[in-house]
Amino acid sequence: MKEGLHPELHKITVVCSCGAQFETLSTMSKLHVEICSQCHPFFTGKQKLLDTAGRVERFKKKYAKKEEVKPKGPRTITID
- Residue 15's pLDDT band, with cuts at 50, 70 and 90, is very high
Q: Apex CA 55: angle with CA 52 and CA 58, to 5°?
A: 150
- DSSP-based three-state secondary structure for 53: helix
Q: What is the CA radius of gyration of the chain?
A: 28
- Sorted by where each begins, the domain ranges of the chain are 10-66
Fold entry, domain 10-66? Rhinovirus 14, subunit 4 (4.10.80)
CA distance 19 to 33: 10
Instruction: Give the pTM.
Output: 0.47
According to the model, what pLDDT value does residue 18 have? 87
pLDDT for the residue numbered 69: 53
Provide the pLDDT confidence category of residue 26 given band limits of 50, 70 and 90: very high
